[in-house]
Structure 1
Amino acid sequence: MRANTLLVGAAVSALGILVAMPLGFVLLQAIFPELAQGSLARPLAHLAGVLADPKLVELTINTLKLGACVVLAAAAIGIPLGTLRGLFDLPAAKLWDVLMLVPFMIPPYISALGWIMLLQPRGYLQQLLGIHAGPALFSFGGVVFVMTLNVVPVVYFAVSRTMAASGSRLALVGRVCGAGAWRCFWRITLPLALPGIAASLLLVFAMAIEEYGTPAALAANAGFFVLVTGIERRFSEWPIDLPGASVLSLILVALAMLAFVWQRRMLTGKGYETTTGKPTRGETLPLGAWRWPAAALFGAIVAVATFAPLFAIAATAFSRTLSGGLAIGNLSLRHFQAIAAGGSEASGALATSLMLGAGAAVVTGLTGVLVAYCVVKTRTRGRAVLDALAVLPNTMPGVVVGVGLILAWNQAFWPATPYNTWGILLLAYCCLLLPYPVRYSHAALMQIGDNLEAAARVHGAGTVTALARILLPLLAPSLAAAMLLVFAVASRELVASLLLAPTGVQTVSLFIWRQFEQGSVGQGMAMSLVTVALTTTVMLLATLWLERRQARSV
């Protein structure tokens, strides 16, 4: 009991520092319009004006529409592909994993720019085939298309790993007992995978409604605006409207929390667990005549999601000038040479991003396991509040979290503060990305029966020992996948970095953004290509190491 109390206290403290403080100050700013000036006067004086804005309903409906469409599209692509990868003997399976990982490694604003250069009038597609897709790209459908390709790896990897964990072993038992293949899938395999699928779709919805760069780049000219673009306008246009932006942020939080509540209700009474711990992966099933059609399906998805934007990014990076187009004579390494010649600036930005990404992965991984354990395996009151608080940051735009951290830590009463240091960037990344390990750990813990922990306690192990020696090794695959996602996203985060980076500290995303601002699109794309290659390599090496370690332990 004492150990549980300490674990819950640690989880509450971590969430208080990482989440409650910045979001609490955003709430205070929404209530007290003069909070930034140190005054609590005139509470809610601005609320009537914000709610009376005729565009508010339109922004809210557009946000829900965008989130729902991206979730449906990502599910339509990611669930079938993840099922094929997790249960069946797919040709070149590990190669598809690598290629499906790449779209997630490309920063969304870079991906959007790549698609623009590929499909716009006089873009690369028109130079090659004489056609373009400008009207389709610069529309609501174009936003859904690009955002879906960016987030579908979240669903794919969650489904494939969950399906692989439950494996075909239990379904084969059902077949032996007389059930058909489809019946075994719907009654055995799919229910075991449901927590992972629901967790990934919730993350996709949160990512879709908080993404700023893609809607701003592709749909602004078509008149399609969402809450995030409305928030950014209140921050960027004079006079700056912090209270109004905070109110819109709270509406965005409410939308995400509705999705969170819906997810919990959908899973209530539908959770399934094995009686022998987390199921081990059995033999994959043969695809038979569907072997090469399945490989062709993966090839088509990878061609669109991975190779198309990479081609546009690489073509720009290796072009001497944009006006020169796709021509042999226009090929050049000048942009890469400029990065290398930049020396300390480029390499320093890369080192800073990798360090912050690794730090965020470690902090959020430990905190995520702790929070998920308190929610799933303890009977502490307020567990739902802890779970909700842990998922809240993924519903907030980076710009809002950045402002919340500024308001929280730029106060005179603190004896010491991380403000204006690299520590504020680490806090921002941890706040924004904590939902990844929490949701993945939550889904994995739901599949682990209580009998293993009970057996450990019967043999004298305490709560902490059981968590460290039994549950944590079983959680390792899901936790490692979540931490790798945190590393990937933190290494490329832009909006919070723009707000919070202190003088003299530059990340990769800031370096790329400033190259674009200065008109050096080719140099920015070159740095993007280097970053994608490096972070993908790091993640692949980590994945291979984990697979070998897991194989040795079997």
Structure 2
Amino acid sequence: MALSRRSRERSQTEGGGLAALVAPVLLVLIAWPLSFIVLQAIFPEIGAGSLARPFALVSETLSDPRLVEWTFNTLKLGLGVMVGSFVVGVPLGMLRGLFKVPGGGLWDVLFTVPFTIPPYIAALGWIFALQPHGYLDQIAGFNVGKFLFSYWGVVFVMTLNVFPVVYFAVSRSVAAISGRYLEAARVCGAAPSVSFRRILLPLTAPAIAASLLLVFAMSIEEFGTPAVLAARSGFLVLVTGVEQRLSDYPIDLPGAAMLSIVLVMLALAAFVGQHWIVNRRDTGAMSGKPSRQELMELGRYKPLVLAGFAAVATVGTMAPIASVLITASTRTISGGLAADNLSLDNFRGLADQTSGAMEALLTSFSLGIGTALITGLVGVLTALVTVRQKTRMARVLDFLSLVPNTIPGVVIAVGLILAWTQPWLPLTVYNTPWVLVFAYCCLLLPYPVRYATTAVRQMGSGLEDAARVFGARPVTLILRIVLPLILPSMVAAMLLVFAVASRELVATILLAPLGTETIATFIWNQFEQGSVGLGMAMSSVAILVTLSVPALAALVSRRFAATASDKARAGTQSA
């Protein structure tokens, strides 16, 4: 009893020490830049080190008619993508969860691909496929360029990028519902429409609503697709408005800060709504007894369902990737799809030292690796504090580590610009590559924290308590017990962070120092300069990296799990 009490006391002491270590990191990475967004909106001259004229420009910014237009367009875009994702994701998810869809696993993989491709790259692929004299025009003799460069075109492209959020939420929710409910309804004579309306729809409504609100938040935060497509038709939203105020002369920092606050409020409202829907009531359909749901046969509707799945996979996955690869493999855009115009010159150009492509790849990979290592370490330490400690400090740190999930990337970039350009700072990371590391860590820290928190909770505290009883130091405890047990989860999280950080766009465009080029800025600059083929060749590399990382994560996790199983089996046999 005394040993147990002493172990708990040591755990509390160690947790306090870890909290003191983690708190400054989270304050610098997250709280510091976000606080300056609010300060800049209130004190327009804080950039000069002055707190004069508080609230002087708030009314001017809020009365700007463009703010109303941009906010309305943002809401309109978010709602349009929500409707599109509902139309595409809900029927496919219902069919996947209820019926024996041939090749179900293949469709799941294909529908994951659009979600992993950088949205701005997908948008560029659609431009070359659907614009006048594009690939559709060359093959079929018509184009839909007017549709693509409009509000509806942006909704179309963004829907294909994010509908998997709804598809997987609905299909998993339907699959989790015990088959006995629908079977009981059929035994009692209920028509299929009644079973759907009275049983299936109420049980899946929370998953549908929560996933749609997540889609809304993702849509209003997205910069690449509106910047590539909508800006050409004059359809500007808050994210492009923020970028415009930071890039057009004269730079309007207070206005950018105020627009960022409006955007954060919209995103927070969506996340709060999602949280309320998920937690307001229990809609569980699982009983205490294990049950296996028998998927229903499609019968005569099988060809129609397969045609629907194939159409979405073709349009959403294969078409944009094919457009990117074809553009990267042509000598000139004007040469079209002619056989003599096909070449690997653009891919060879990536290896040319004068193009700067290899330097951009090396920079992106270096930044991605650095970000993955930092967020992995901070994620583990934060998880140990928030899971093992039940103090107010632990709750504050948990909130700080997860709040970037609700903050658009453009807002994080604005906060970093404001925070690290203060004249009174003795040292600054602005205009150095470290500002990109700070931005990526702030944006992506929630992923390792979530992975580590889940893994630490599953691990329990028994092994740590036993180590403390035998006098293990905190560092030894983390290195010898905690890290080996949660390593598979952390490797997966760090690979995900690497994949996203190496091709991040909006924060990189706003923060990259002069002379520093990454994969995202290289692609963006090539299109600005008219070197389309070279930009698409780099886009192909970005897609390859993005698609290979999840497979690598699964392989590593499986290997770690197999190794752990072998060790456990060997230990059991020796005992």
TM bin (shorter chain): 0.7 to 0.9
**Distance (whole Å) between structure 2 residues aligned to residue 439 and residue 68 of structure 1:** 28
**Distance (whole Å) between structure 2 residues aligned to residue 408 and residue 122 of structure 1:** 46
Per-residue CA shift, 1:25-59, capped at 9, x if unaligned?
22221111112222222121111111111232222
**Is 1:541 the equivalent of 2:552?**
yes
Partner residue of 1:330 out of 330, 341, 361: 341
Partner residue of 1:56 out of 59, 67, 70: 67
**Is 1:360 the equivalent of 2:371?**
yes
Do the aligned partners of residues 389 and 229 (structure 1) sit closer, same or farther apart at CA in structure 2, a change above 3 Å counting?
same
**Is 1:31 the equivalent of 2:31?**
no
**Distance (whole Å) between structure 2 residues aligned to residue 99 and residue 461 of structure 1:** 48
Structure 1 position 493, deviation (Å)? 1.1
Structure 1 position 409, deviation (Å)? 3.0
**Aligned equivalent of 1:42:** 53
**Is 1:297 the equivalent of 2:308?**
yes
Per-residue CA shift, 1:454-497, capped at 9, x if unaligned?
888998989x989x9799979966x7766554333222112222
**Aligned equivalent of 1:265:** 276
**Aligned equivalent of 2:218:** 207
Per-residue CA shift, 1:369-416, capped at 9, x if unaligned?
766787788654488766664454345444442232233234566565
Structure 1 position 353, deviation (Å)? 1.7
Do the aligned partners of residues 296 and 129 (structure 1) sit closer, same or farther apart at CA in structure 2, a change above 3 Å counting?
same
**Aligned equivalent of 2:440:** 429
Structure 1 position 7, deviation (Å)? 5.8
CA contact (8 A) 2:206 2:277 kept: no
Q: Which moved more, 1:315-324 or 1:413-422?
A: 413-422
**Is 1:501 the equivalent of 2:508?**
no
Structure 1 position 305, deviation (Å)? 0.9
**Distance (whole Å) between structure 2 residues aligned to residue 421 and residue 484 of structure 1:** 24
Structure 1 position 435, deviation (Å)? 4.2
CA contact (8 A) 2:48 2:423 kept: no
**Aligned equivalent of 2:420:** 409
1:95-110 correspondence to structure 2 within 5 Å:
95-110=106-121
Per-residue CA shift, 1:523-544, capped at 9, x if unaligned?
1001111221233123212223
Q: Which moved more, 1:80-89 or 1:507-516?
A: 80-89
Do the aligned partners of residues 244 and 419 (structure 1) sit closer, same or farther apart at CA in structure 2, a change above 3 Å counting?
closer
The structure number with the bigger radius of gyration is 2
1:220-299 correspondence to structure 2 within 5 Å:
220-270=231-281, 285-289=294-298, 295-299=306-310
1:57-72 correspondence to structure 2 within 5 Å:
57-72=68-83
**Distance (whole Å) between structure 2 residues aligned to residue 363 and residue 212 of structure 1:** 26
SS at match of 1:322: coil
Do the aligned partners of residues 2 and 386 (structure 1) sit closer, same or farther apart at CA in structure 2, a change above 3 Å counting?
same
Per-residue CA shift, 1:76-124, capped at 9, x if unaligned?
4445556666787654455434433332343222221221221122221
Q: 1:530 is matched by which residue type in structure 2?
A: V
Q: Which runs of 5+ in 2 are unaligned?
A: 1-11, 566-575
SS at match of 1:60: helix
Q: Which moved more, 1:18-27 or 1:241-250?
A: 18-27
1:90-489 correspondence to structure 2 within 5 Å:
91-156=102-167, 171=178, 201=212, 203-270=214-281, 285-289=294-298, 295-342=306-353, 345-364=356-375, 367=378, 379-381=390-392, 389-411=400-422, 416-436=427-447, 453=460, 484-489=495-500
Structure 1 position 272, deviation (Å)? 7.8
Q: Which runs of 5+ in 1 are unaligned?
A: none
TM-score (norm 1): 0.80
Do the aligned partners of residues 435 and 538 (structure 1) sit closer, same or farther apart at CA in structure 2, a change above 3 Å counting?
closer
SS at match of 2:219: helix
**Distance (whole Å) between structure 2 residues aligned to residue 87 and residue 380 of structure 1:** 44
**Distance (whole Å) between structure 1 residues aligned to residue 104 and residue 315 of structure 2:** 18
CA RMSD in angstroms comes to 4.6
Do the aligned partners of residues 192 and 383 (structure 1) sit closer, same or farther apart at CA in structure 2, a change above 3 Å counting?
farther
Q: 2:122 is matched by which residue type in structure 1?
A: S
Q: 1:348 is matched by which residue type in structure 2?
A: E
Q: 1:227 is matched by which residue type in structure 2?
A: L
SS at match of 1:220: helix
Structure 1 position 256, deviation (Å)? 1.2
Per-residue CA shift, 1:328-371, capped at 9, x if unaligned?
12212221121122379322322332332344345445655766
**Aligned equivalent of 2:568:** none
Structure 1 position 307, deviation (Å)? 1.1
Per-residue CA shift, 1:489-536, capped at 9, x if unaligned?
222112222233335532111221222222101110011112212331
CA contact (8 A) 2:154 2:225 kept: yes
TM-score (norm 2): 0.78
Do the aligned partners of residues 84 and 378 (structure 1) sit closer, same or farther apart at CA in structure 2, a change above 3 Å counting?
farther
Q: 1:65 is matched by which residue type in structure 2?
A: K
CA contact (8 A) 1:410 1:417 kept: yes
Q: 2:262 is matched by which residue type in structure 1?
A: I
Structure 1 position 250, deviation (Å)? 0.6
CA contact (8 A) 1:207 1:394 kept: no
**Aligned equivalent of 2:85:** 74
Q: Which moved more, 1:453-462 or 1:95-104?
A: 453-462
**Distance (whole Å) between structure 2 residues aligned to residue 167 and residue 549 of structure 1:** 29
CA contact (8 A) 1:428 1:496 kept: yes
**Distance (whole Å) between structure 2 residues aligned to residue 7 and residue 180 of structure 1:** 57
Q: 1:236 is matched by which residue type in structure 2?
A: S
Q: How many residues align?
A: 539
Per-residue CA shift, 1:421-444, capped at 9, x if unaligned?
3322111112123344556778x6
